[in-house]
Amino acid sequence: MSFAFCSYFRGRMKRLFARQINFTRQNGNLTFVPHHEAVIESQLEKLQMLVDSSTNILILTGAGVSTESGIPDYRSEVVGLYARSNHRPIQHQDFMRSKHVRQRYWARNFVGWSKFSTVQPNASHFVLASWERHGKISSIVTQNVDRLHHKAGSKATVELHGCAHEVKCMKCNYEMSRDEFQRILTELNPSLSVPNAAIRPDADVELSQEIINTFRVPNCQQCRDELEGFYKPNIVFFGDNVPKSRVEFVFSQLQSSDCLLVLGSSLYVYSGYRFILRASELGIPSAIVNIGPTRGDKYASIKLSAKCSEVLTKICI
């Protein structure tokens, strides 16, 4: 790789990052990024050497990649949802068993959807899309449900926990886009509007019980049992399992890769943690970029406690 090309690439990424910083400051999105130190140059050089020596990198991304776009995470100190409130994400079994829980979920999600669905990718998403176009990575495995990697242009993306942009009937498996479902909800609840509501990681907002009690949620009109069919976002909720076929596919991708790069994930949840464990078992080197400690730090060859975009925009492929 020529020095001139590397300098050009870094300059291009810095300009992109600068535009993104201006955007996020204007929209107040940096409040969701935890306090962090500057990138340590010696660690950055080690990561550059690992990237240079790898030809087929598997990327695993978590919530820390999307916080710069304005989507809060759960566990970050001070700015994460758990630190700011006593709100906890919905549990799979609660959603499946209780009509009232589904009513509460969809009411909150309905109000938050207009903001969540229009969130845009940030510099990290665009850098990874560029790496893919240059044939540097095998695939991007994301724990996020926001579809921002797709918006940035990535194609080889595995949505480990599903996607908030799709809904599915739990009885007949009929699927529709979340935007289409939003139109149905709007027709049923034409007067509901809560301006300036702050979204949470799972795309919902805080609503009064009075509003929730009057919110109307449709049953599935496609399945044969209209009284029982109900819609759920195509997301793996807490308490549920990632489909085995999806996990096995990622394992196969990892086995054919020569490096695992974890970005913006604490690896607290086993669904992502298992992959750094498997990389260690296979002898595949791994690196982690995440603000603060992670569950997989002891398995990583390199760990950078830094903001993802500040690292990725300085790496040259």
Domain residue ranges in the chain: 3-71+120-161+242-312, 81-117+165-235
Question: Domain spanning 3-71+120-161+242-312: which CATH class is it, in words?
Answer: alpha beta
pLDDT the model gives residue 206: 77
269 is in an annotated binding site: no
pTM here is: 0.86
pLDDT the model gives residue 71: 86
pLDDT the model gives residue 139: 96
Residue 36 designated active-site: no
Separation CA 254–CA 282 (nearest Å): 9
pLDDT the model gives residue 72: 81
72 is in an annotated binding site: yes
Separation CA 212–CA 136 (nearest Å): 47
pLDDT the model gives residue 195: 63
Which among 125, 150, 161, 165 is annotated as catalytic? Answer: 161
Q: Per-block average pLDDT, block size 10, for the chain (317 residues)?
A: 48 46 40 73 96 97 92 54 55 95 94 92 97 96 96 97 96 95 96 70 76 93 75 95 97 97 95 97 97 95 95 94
pLDDT the model gives residue 208: 85
138 is in an annotated binding site: no
265 is in an annotated binding site: yes
